[in-house]
Amino acid sequence: MIEIHSLTKTFDKIKAVDEVSVTIKDNTVFGLIGTNGAGKSTVLRMISGVLKPDSGTVTVDNIPVYDNVDAKKKLFFIADDPYFFANSNAKAMERYYSGIYEHFDRAEFYKYLESFNLDKNRKIGSFSKGMKKQLALLLGICAHTEYILCDETFDGLDPVMRQGIKSLFAKEMEERGLTPVIASHNLRELEDICDHVGLLHKGGVLLSKDLEDMKCNIQKVQCVFATVEEELKALSGMEVLKKEQRGSLRTFTVRSTREEVAARFAAADTVFYEVLPLSLEEIFISETEVVGYDIKKLILG
Amino acid sequence: MTSRNSFWVSSVENHKRRIWVWIVAALAQIAAYVGVLTVYLSRVRMWNAEGAYRKAEEYQKALYQATQDALGFQDNLLPILIGLAIIIGMQGYSYLYDRKKVDMYHSVPVDKNRRFLVIYLNGIIIYLATTLASLLIGVVLAAVQRGVNGEVMAVIGMGFLWNLLMFLVLYHTVILAVMLTGNRFITLFAAGTFALYEMMLYMLVNTLQYAFFETKDGFYISNEPKLSALTDYIGKTWEIKQLTSIQEMARGTLPFYGKWALIAALLLTVAWLCYRRRPSEAAGKSMAFPSIESSVKVIIVIPAAVGLGMWVYSAGHGNTTLTLATMIAGGVIGSAAMEVIYDFDLRSMFKHLVSSGVAVAGIAIVFFIFQADLLGYDKYVPLQSKLESVALTLDTYHEFWNADFQYISTAEATKERMKIVDVEPLLILAEKAQQEKVEDMTDPREIHVLYRLNSGREVGRSFYMDFDNPVNEELLNKIIGTEEYRAGTYQIVTDEDSFEMVQSMTYSNGATEVALPAEDGAALREAYMKDLEQFDFTLARNMRPCGVLRVQFPNWMNYSLDVYESFENTIAYLQSAEAYYPVMLDPEDIDSITVTNYHSDLGEEYEDMPVYDTRNAASFAYNESRVVSETFYEQEEFEMILPVIYPNSLSAHWHNYKEVDDDYDIYITFKKDTAYPYNRSNYGFNYKFYTDQVPGFVTEATALDD
């Protein structure tokens, strides 16, 4: 488990990360979402031990990370623009990483290289941006660390490759309990992969929740009530996060379980009602609007 | 899976990324050693073919010397050492400049200390391997050409150690510069600053002292950097190369090995500590540690601005207002420039105004400390009770040598040998000098003084005194009459052994050059020493030498001793050896006398001519159009000329220079058939008239035509 407590980091008098506290549970996919400059990369660089926090702590399985080889053995960090040695190829990078990470699986690496159609002898300098990210991910996966930290790694990958990498993550999570931590500025990138999401904004955490919890506890209902009194009766005691009205058609976003919502609306005198599925985007919009942020501007562009 | 995460693996991996450094280092070392050796040896072979070496041993010695010069203490190796230290040091830790690389290297599970050590040791390996390989090739090449023996190998070994330690100092300086900065250009600037800062500081202090202090003197005590290994290397490599024995070389180098090793160790320790504390976010920035930016700015801007001001001072003929204004402007601009460099942003020029203010205030303080002599430098005259002894030099015409019969400087010799304990006369002279102005003196002469304090401290000063002042004459007699003065000024007094090894001796009255038996060296010394006992300032001031003794020692070391007419013992010896001839020539021996009148006193009437005015020489202007020469052949003319002339080849250093007339040159030709033992290797002999004693017929004959 990665525990981040009251993490703060300032660059040139600008607070890049401000009192961030997050817990990343093992064997889950943790998504770190935020706009450019929100502090995602800084948090990841502190988790990976590259940066020393000004204050606060980062521990990996209760071991402080900064300047600690034992903690770093558990992590593999893929920066947003990963570095490869000049004039090197995949083979050379494998030799370097397999010399550093004790459990690096060389056979697996070359197998994956083939699967992803990456030439082990070709100079990395001639790779496309996407191919470089694939290579970095494969090196990270094959390093067999407990945690893999990916900074905007899925940006630039085509859907097929993204799916391939996600499959690899799923396999590694299942087989050896890998915990991927993925930072992205795009919520849609993470929707189908993350178990837990932390939303960073201006260096602080706006929210950090399990996706399942979020999905189960927020419902969207469209309905037409017979009378205004019926509407009040159906909604009494429920936390309404959002309400829209188009003629007699009402759309509510409410915090409750699907079963409870369905029961409430069934009991009320309605002309029509339907509990609709919510996208991750909609859940975020609702959750962040509650705390006063216009999430559309922040991460959906 | 087996772990390959060993030190060796890390080292090999690191070397893979430094191949170009290997290539550059190897090429540079081969060029520096093998290339230079080839040139030196071929030059010796060529000279041999041209018959430059008379004996086989001479040729052999030249071959050894060539190998030694190329592979041992080579004085042009410094640029290679600097270049390699920069390339190896900067390339090794260059990942610190790049955020991408830092992200990778600092996130992988490699211990920081190990990474530092691997990169550091690999740098050393690159230097050692390429140096040793080049030296090995060089030695083999030299051996093939019979240019190597045990002694040469020992010199090569010492040279290798000498250069290795210098490389370490430079290498560690570069590493420290990398650790403190985040950008290549700033690293180079920082490394240069580290390497040269002390040297530049001393130069600046010297410049300020010479500009503003009248008693500043570098004769005995020179302000030299104490910690700068680079200064040592530049100053000593050539010096050590000149030493002839292995033992002397070892003695000469040993103190520096220890000092440099200590400096190198200190630099490396600081560099390592900085590496440990260096924040990863420093990559790409100017400075790795923002907390030291202001201090660095102050310590760079102050000397830079003061140096700029002093440049203006020398160019502006000592205008102090302009100098101060330049310094202040330099401080303001320099501070702004440093801030711009720190942030790579022009808008930052007015950041940290407090430290900029400190820098400007520091500049003003430094300026006034020197310009107004706030610390009383020129007023310094030690208390008699605090003085152990003094040494002084009134002129630098005396020769000194070491046990190998190699010349050593007057300052070095006097400092070592002259310990005058009756310090009072000198202190009175020093006090007097503070009350007197040079402009008011009729014959001002500079005196270099070394005060040896009871505390062990040595202080050097110089001041002017008037040789025409009778009080000074009395005081100088007290000083010059001491045995300590003689011991420190005349090596003949202290060096008995050398006079057992005299190769040849001659005596000259300005025209003669009569050989004396070399075996008389000891006898001559004894006679001369007796005469020196009655030698004092009054004698030297009022009497010109009547001749000069020239003694030649091994190693072509020549020693000159002035002989005065009052030197009875010496003259008695010379007479007994039939070598003594009076300074005045016999008209019977003269064939002709040519007098040239330069008419320099008419210079301004004719045209603007440069007038060379130095403190110790009369003004003299030369213009071919007004030079008149006349040759005299008559006996009567010779009789009038010869009593009033003095040979140019004899020196009267303390005698009033105004007593000879520089406007005339006299050229004497002897009769070919005369028995007079004039130096027959000369065609003629140059003399001068005593001032105001030029015979009237000479003046008339050499007058300018209208």
B89-140 pLDDT, tens digit each: 999 999 999 999 999 999 999 999 999 999 999 999 999 999 999 999 999 9
Q: Across the interface, which of B4, B10, B100 has its CB nearest the CB of A98?
A: B4
Neighbour order of strands in the sheet with A249-255: A239-246, A249-255, A218-225, A270-276
Lowest mean pLDDT among A61-65, B392-396, B627-631, B653-657: B653-657
d(CA B352, CA B298) in angstroms, rounded, equals 11
DSSP A39: S
Q: Are strands B628-632 and B590-597 parallel, antiparallel or unpaired?
A: antiparallel
Residues 6+ away with beta carbon under 8 Å from B360: B328, B331, B332, B335
Q: Are strands A196-201 and A30-34 parallel, antiparallel or unpaired?
A: parallel
Q: Given pLDDT bands bounded at 50, 70 and 90, which one contains residue B11?
A: confident
Which B-chain residues 106-135 have CB contacts (< 8 A) with chain A?
106-112
d(CA B507, CA B322) in angstroms, rounded, equals 57
The 10 Å CB-count burial string (b at 16+, else e) for B52-64 is: ebeeeeebeebbb
Handedness of CA B431, B436, B439, B444 (dihedral sign): negative
Decide if B190 contacts B341 (C-beta within 8 A). Answer: no
- Is B667 or A200 the better-scoring residue by pLDDT? B667
Amino acid at B504: S
SS3 A249: strand
Residue contact B280–A50, C-beta within 8 A: yes
Residue contact B107–A98, C-beta within 8 A: no
The whole-angstrom distance between B274's CA and the closest CA on chain A is: 14
Strand ranges, E, within A126-285: 147-151, 179-184, 196-201, 204-210, 218-225, 239-246, 249-255, 270-276
Question: Model pTM?
Answer: 0.81
Tokens found for residue A223: 């309905």
B225: nearest Cα among B254, B205, B243, B244: B205
Residue contact B100–A83, C-beta within 8 A: yes
First and final CA of chain A: distance in angstroms? 32
Q: Is the pLDDT of residue B547 over 70?
A: yes
Decide if A67 contacts A168 (C-beta within 8 A). Answer: no
Residues 6+ away with beta carbon under 8 Å from B150: none
Structural domains in chain A, sorted by start: 2-202 (3.40.50.300), 213-300 (3.30.70)
d(CA B333, CA B359) in angstroms, rounded, equals 11
Decide if A32 contacts A198 (C-beta within 8 A). Answer: yes
- A→B contacts (Cβ < 8 Å), by residue, are 11, 45, 48-52, 67, 69-70, 72-73, 75-77, 79, 81-83, 85-86, 92, 95-106
The whole-angstrom distance between A287's CA and the closest CA on chain B is: 34
What pLDDT shows up at residue B635? 93
d(CA B315, CA B541) in angstroms, rounded, equals 39
* pLDDT digit string, tens, across residues B216-264: 999 999 888 888 889 899 888 888 888 878 888 888 888 899 999 999 9
Residue contact B107–A11, C-beta within 8 A: no
Q: Across the interface, which of A70, A81, A99 has its CB nearest the CB of B100?
A: A81
Q: Across the interface, which of A72, A83, A106 has its CB nearest the CB of B109?
A: A72
Q: How many pairs of residues across A and B have Cβ atoms under 8 Å apart?
A: 72
Residues 6+ away with beta carbon under 8 Å from B345: none
Residue contact A83–B109, C-beta within 8 A: no
Q: Are strands B617-620 and B612-614 parallel, antiparallel or unpaired?
A: antiparallel
d(CA A50, CA B283) in angstroms, rounded, equals 12
- Name the closest residue on chain B to residue A71, using Cα atoms: B109
Ordered per-residue pLDDT tens for chain A, 301 residues: 999 999 999 998 888 998 999 899 998 999 988 877 888 999 999 999 999 999 999 999 999 999 999 999 999 999 999 999 988 999 999 999 998 999 999 999 999 999 999 999 999 999 998 899 999 999 999 999 999 999 988 877 888 888 888 889 999 999 999 999 999 887 777 777 888 888 887 778 877 888 777 777 888 899 998 888 888 888 888 888 888 888 889 898 888 888 888 888 888 888 888 988 787 777 777 777 766 666 565 555 4
Predicted complex: ipTM over 0.85:
yes
A287: nearest Cα among A245, A252, A255: A255
Residues 6+ away with beta carbon under 8 Å from B51: none
Judged on CB neighbours under 10 Å (0-12, 13-18, 19+), A85 is: middle
What pLDDT shows up at residue B623? 64
The 10 Å CB-count burial string (b at 16+, else e) for B255-270 is: ebeebbeebbeebbee
What pLDDT shows up at residue B99? 94
Decide if A2 contacts A60 (C-beta within 8 A). Answer: yes
Decide if A212 contacts A195 (C-beta within 8 A). Answer: yes
- Name the closest residue on chain B to residue A81, using Cα atoms: B100
